[in-house]
Amino acid sequence: MSVFKGIALITGSAQGIGRGVALRLARDGFDIALNDVPNKGTQLESVATEIQSLGRRVCVVPADVSANEQVKEMVDGAVTKLGGLDVMIANAGVVAAPGSLLSSTVETWDHIFSVNARGAYLCYKYAAMQMVEQGRGGRIIGASSVSGKFGFHSLCAYSATKFAVRGLTQVAALELGKHGITVNAYAPGMIQTPMTQNAIDRSNNQTTEGVLGDRESSKWATSIMENVPIKHLGQPADVASIVSYLASKEAHFITGQCISVDGGMCMS
């Protein structure tokens, strides 16, 4: 596959999908800027060591993606250390324990939106500013979800943020196409990551109060998988392969799309 052989910045890359994407793009020939929150420094350094072993340049740019100045400094830091920015992967995100519209709190809503939606907006914005200034085009790729394609019961705030990423992606694609910058998103289903496992564990250990007062099990992971054609969890590498293609030269005519990687959970 023909790739840019440029510089890629991946947020939320200390573990899970972000780590898988970072390693895949390094194998594709990109130099890599790794990001996650500052308290994941040890994990980031471990990923950096793996990337160095692949013969690629790498730097670590810790930041909270919900903080405007930190995201700007993150992009500036990657550019200073590696010499530019060609691919932005706005992967960082959080998921809360399942919560319905009626049971969710404003605090939970604001927290999830600050990372998943505001974080994606800030990453898109500052990456686009850098790419436009460079004048050599680029790729911006964000993390939506299957729950950003249709609403999931008891995932009120999370689902709303992932719909927001799809809308942001389409608007950014319209605005940035004239600069040679494509903007797309990926929509994973159930992927085997620490964050997914944590959400499954929490949901399996709680019961929710129904609207009519009946108590129903919150073991939603099992019920979700019942109707999926491919009966196993996906792996970070499955998502990384889609990102690898979207970051390649071959994907120059694809923009504004949100591509499902979900075992057939959402068919369109």
Q: Which CATH number does the domain housing residue 97 bear?
A: 3.40.50.720
pLDDT of residue 268: 76
Q: What would the mean pLDDT of 143-161 be, rounded to a whole number?
A: 90
d(Cα 40, Cα 38) in Å, to the nearest integer?
5
pLDDT of residue 213: 30
In this structure, what token pair is assigned to residue 163? 């719909």
Domain count of the chain?
Answer: 1
Burial of 33 (0-12, 13-18, 19+ CB in 10 A): buried
pLDDT of residue 223: 61
**Amino acid identity, residue 50?**
E
d(Cα 66, Cα 145) in Å, to the nearest integer?
19
CB 213 within 8 A of CB 170: no
The proportion of the chain whose per-residue pLDDT surpasses 90, expressed as a percent, equals 71
C-alpha torsion sign, points 220, 99, 62, 187 = positive
Cα–Cα nearest to 112, from 62, 156, 68, 152:
156
Confidence label for 166 from pLDDT (cuts 50, 70 and 90): very high
Burial of 83 (0-12, 13-18, 19+ CB in 10 A): exposed
d(Cα 155, Cα 151) in Å, to the nearest integer?
8
Alpha helices in 64-155 (DSSP H): 68-82, 106-116, 118-134
End-to-end CA distance of the chain: 27
In this structure, what token pair is assigned to residue 175? 């605005």
CB 240 within 8 A of CB 257: no
* DSSP category for residue 153: T
pLDDT of residue 209: 36
* Residue with more model confidence, 207 or 145: 145
Active site (catalytic) residues? 158, 162
pLDDT of residue 3: 43
Task: Dump pLDDT digits (tens) for 176-225.
Answer: 999 999 999 999 987 877 666 665 555 555 543 333 233 333 455 566 66
Domain membership flag for residue 138: yes
pLDDT of residue 206: 52
Domain membership flag for residue 217: no
Domain membership flag for residue 13: yes
Q: Is the pLDDT of residue 98 over 90?
A: no
CB 29 within 8 A of CB 54: no
d(Cα 81, Cα 93) in Å, to the nearest integer?
25
Domain membership flag for residue 49: yes
pTM above 0.85, yes or no: yes
pLDDT of residue 134: 97
Q: Is the pLDDT of residue 66 over 70?
A: yes
Domain membership flag for residue 216: no
Domain membership flag for residue 209: no
pLDDT of residue 97: 67
Domain membership flag for residue 66: yes
Domain membership flag for residue 82: yes
Task: Dump pLDDT digits (tens) for 69-84.
Answer: 999 999 999 999 999 9
**What is the domain extent for residue 156?**
7-193+236-261
Task: Dump pLDDT digits (tens) for 254-264.
Answer: 999 999 997 76
